[in-house]
Amino acid sequence: MIGIFDSGVGGMTVAHAVEQLLPDYSLVYYGDIARSPYGPKSPKTIIDYSIHNTEFLLDKGAELIIIACNSASSVATETLREKFSVPIIEVITPAANRAISSSQNGRIGVIGTRATVRSDIYQKTILARQPDCKVFQEICPLLVPLVEEGWLNKRETKMILRRYLAPFKNRQIDTLVLGCTHYPLLKNLIQPRIGKRVKLIDSSIETAHYVKEFLLSNPNIISKNGNASHRYYVSDSTETARPVAERIFSRPMELIIA
C-alpha cells in the first residue's frame, strides 16, 4: 500500500496522479487540515508533524511514503528516512529534474511556501545537477489558504497571483516550478498570468511518474492488488475540503476524520 500525506487537501493532486498511473496499488492518504498550512511554521514543527503523519500511515498499512508537501519535503525528508525503514519519496527531486530537462534557456522560476523557498531546496537541487542554471524564487504565502478555502477562481486570487508572478516578468524564465502540491489547482489562473511560453512544472504529476519508475525498478517493495482500494483521511473537516477534493478527483469523495 502507498501512503501519502500533506498539510491539507492539496496533496490529493499527487494522490490523484498516483491513482491514474498506478491503478493496481492501494493507497491511503492523510491530510493534516487541522494544522494547515505548514509553510509558515518552523522546521522543527514541520518535522514533528511529518513524523506523526508517517506513523499514522504506517499504522494503516503503508509500505512506501510519499511526502506530498513541498514544505515537509524541504525540511523533513532526511529525518524521516533516518527514522523509518520504508522508502520515503519527496516531491522536490522529480519536479527539479523535470524543470532542468524542460528549460531551454536555463532560467527557472520557483513559487512556493516560506518553508520551501527559505530552505533553498529547489535551488540546491537544480544547481547540483545543472550549475549553469539560474533559479529565481518567490514566496507565495496566501495561495495555500486560498486553495483550502476553495477560492479557485475568485477575483482576489487572480489579483494575488498577478502580484506574486510579476517579479518573474523581467527575469526571462521559460520554466516555472509549482513548488507546492496545492498550486496545480491554480494552473488555469497561473498560465495566462505568467505567459503561454513559460512551461509549468507540476510536482504532483512528476512525483507520480517518479513513483511509478521506482516501483518498476523495485517490484518487491509493495504487492499489487487487483482490487486496489483507496482511503482518504483528514485530521479535521472544513466546509470546503470535500468540494475541493471532489474537484481534484472528479468524483464523490469520502473524507474520514482521524
Q: Is 209 annotated as a binding residue?
A: no
Q: Is 113 annotated as a binding residue?
A: no
Q: Is 74 annotated as a binding residue?
A: no
Instruction: Report the catalytic residues.
Output: 69, 180
Q: Is 45 annotated as a binding residue?
A: no
- Write out the three cell numbers for 30: 492523510
Q: Is 7 annotated as a binding residue?
A: yes
3-class SS shares of the chain: helix, strand, coil, % to 5: 50, 15, 35
Q: Is 182 annotated as a binding residue?
A: yes
Q: Is 153 annotated as a binding residue?
A: no
CA-to-CA distance for 80 and 244, rounded, in angstroms? Answer: 29
* 220-12-208 Cα angle (round to 5): 40
Q: Is 230 annotated as a binding residue?
A: no
State the SS3 of 26-48: CEEEEECHHHCCCCCCCHHHHHH
DSSP for 152-200? SS-HHHHHHHHHHHGGGTTTT-SEEEEESTTGGGGHHHHHHHH-TTSEE
List residues forming the annotated binding site: 6-7, 38-39, 70-71, 181-182
Residues of each annotated binding site for substrate: 6-7, 38-39, 70-71, 181-182
